[in-house]
Structure 1
Amino acid sequence: MTEPAVIDQAVFRRPPLDLTLPSAPVRDILERAFAEDAPSGDITSQLLIPAGARATAVLNARVPGVLSGATVFRDAMELVDPATQVELLVADGESFDAGMHLARVTGSARSVLLAERVALNLVQRMSAIATKTAEFVRLAEGTRARITDTRKTTPGLRILERFAVRCGGGANHRYSLSDAVLAKDNHLAVMTGGDPAKLTALLLAAKAQLGHTTHFEVEVDRMEQIEPVLAAGVDTIMLDNFSIEELTAGVALVAGRARVEASGNVNTGTVAAIAATGVDVISVGALTHSVAALDQGLDVELAAG
């Protein structure tokens, strides 16, 4: 059995991840958020704040982390009032310490207060995802394993949450069900009718219907499924809920015939050992489905008028 590889990072250095967001879907998310949060305006500010009042406020980090959503925070402020000026002091993907100022906002006090909650909700959640991802990436350092997200995202916010994963140094799995074939346990159960002897032939027949650029991945949950799946020439084999010993044996059995992905029971206590088995990809649903918002606040420094 080959030893799991701990490799020279220079050999497997990742290409720079894209830290840009397309403007149209972000604007759509923000418009829907403001329609929900202020369908008829902010009656509190309209009652209490003079129309001509202006304010300067800072986005403060109350705990350390990795920033994601800086541009979304800016876009939220500017969507409410294009005259609002936003200075980003820390860029998406950069780490910060508690007490740091992340952005400064100057504009109509009413506009800043109306935009505050939507802007904060998004940058807090995105920064939490980026911070959690960075922790997983750090724990997998020195191995070939790439940390990726899953489709376990908040409906309607997937593009932001996947961007946050990239800000934390992780990579993205397929974006949607339309992007790649991923046959999971329930697919296999329906396909084979419980007869594992049919698996290879059925996968080969399915693969023959695909275009040559479509990625084909199959999830297995038992060692004996690996060879029949590999015989179909799939691109990636996902070893789901395998023990560390089974992952090591599975990587040796695949022996480069397909990319190996590990999933299931991945947390900060297990990810280093999983990465050390030699898998190529570790998918982590917890990056997006169970993070708590990172503590950040918008504090008014100066109000005038």
Structure 2
Amino acid sequence: MTLSPKRLTDALKGFLEEDLATGDLSTSALPPQLVHGDFVVKHAGVIVGQCLPDAVYQLLGPKCHYTPTVPDGTLVPQGTVIGQASGPVADLLAGERTILNLMQRMSGIATATHLAVTTLNDPSIGILDTRKTAPGLRLFDKYAVQCGGGINHRMGLYDAVMLKDNHWHLITDFPATVRRLRQLCGPTKTIEVEVATRDQLQAAIASQVDMIMIDNQTPATARAWRKIIPTSIKVEVSGGITPTKLPAYAGSGIDFISLGYLTNSVQALDIAFNLTD
């Protein structure tokens, strides 16, 4: 996925309105002048959001400019200048917090994703995100996962089927439900089923779903269940998987590990904007 210009602009307009409303009172008494500033990362991490400063500045004033010094997805050490900005001081300061809030969150997500990928150390298994994103920020959150080396799961309820525990609670005829979904959704929509018991696993296999999510099971159970699932069905594991648990899944034969903490427990990467003149 990419950050489409229209969706990006529409989102940023709302974010700026939230922060600025009728104007920045703090800069109202400052003399107008052109200044320069650096964006500096204060801790090592993966940088994401290099399109944001210029997109924000273009909404604030035509004299603002941003030059990134590293591309998205770059792992940088502490103290790296990741970009340089210039323009009227009022405009640069008006956009500072919106830019930093987004870049810090996105870079934090990408850094956590990169750590998960390297900790797992098995390129045959993809690290997936989830729908556990901040409302209004899914586009940004999922782009950040990609930049960190992860893979986007479904974007929303509209682009894939996932039958989970609450669906199981309501379903009385599982094979008939899967057949009906095939008719309704067509051949291009993936049908994934979350399973927590051996009976659910067998039902999902018999119905020839596209993907099975093994939920809240031990690595040993995931390995054992993978062996009885046909190779035509992709296998995902999820549920309480922390970075320290990831190595136990290496070489298991599963296809994906989904990690909700990538986007719902974000530790932002510390980035500062410092005027240089």
TM-score by length of 1: 0.88
Cα-Cα RMSD: 1.3
Match of 2:225 in 1: 250
Shift of residue 208, structure 1, vs aligned partner: 3.7
Match of 2:137 in 1: 157
- Structure 1 distance, partners of 2:20, 2:99, is 13
User: Residues 54 and 64 of structure 2 are in contact (CA less than 8 Å); yes or no, is this contact kept in structure 1?
Assistant: no
- Structure 1 distance, partners of 2:56, 2:269, is 18
Match of 1:114 in 2: 94
- Which SS does the other structure have where 2:116 is aligned? helix
Match of 1:146 in 2: 126
Match of 1:207 in 2: 182
Identify which of 212, 215, 218 aligns with 1:240: 215
Match of 1:172 in 2: 152
- Structure 1 distance, partners of 2:112, 2:152, is 15
User: Residues 74 and 86 of structure 1 are in contact (CA less than 8 Å); yes or no, is this contact kept in structure 2?
Assistant: yes
- Structure 2 distance, partners of 1:170, 1:24, is 24
For 2:40, give the aligned amino acid: N
- Structure 1 distance, partners of 2:88, 2:177, is 63
| 1:77 corresponds to 2:57 | yes
Identify which of 201, 219, 222 aligns with 1:226: 201
Q: How many residues align?
A: 277
Identify which of 243, 248, 256 aligns with 1:281: 256
- Structure 1 distance, partners of 2:96, 2:260, is 29
For 1:73, give the aligned amino acid: P
Shift of residue 265, structure 1, vs aligned partner: 1.4
Instruction: State the Cα deviation string for residues 80-128 of structure 1 (Å, max 9, x = none).
Output: 1121111101111111110110010010011101110101101000000
- Which SS does the other structure have where 1:269 is aligned? helix
| 1:50 corresponds to 2:25 | no
Identify which of 32, 39, 63 aligns with 2:21: 39
Bigger drift between 85-94 and 207-216 goes to: 207-216
Structure 1 residue runs of 4 or more that deviate by more than 2 Å after TM superposition: 140-143, 198-210
- Which SS does the other structure have where 1:116 is aligned? helix
| 1:62 corresponds to 2:37 | no
| 1:130 corresponds to 2:105 | no
Shift of residue 143, structure 1, vs aligned partner: 4.4
Match of 2:271 in 1: 296
Identify which of 154, 169, 190 aligns with 1:189: 169
Match of 1:26 in 2: 8
User: Which stretches in structure 2 are left out of the alignment for 5+ residues?
Assistant: none
Identify which of 65, 69, 75 aligns with 1:89: 69
Aligned sequence identity (%): 35
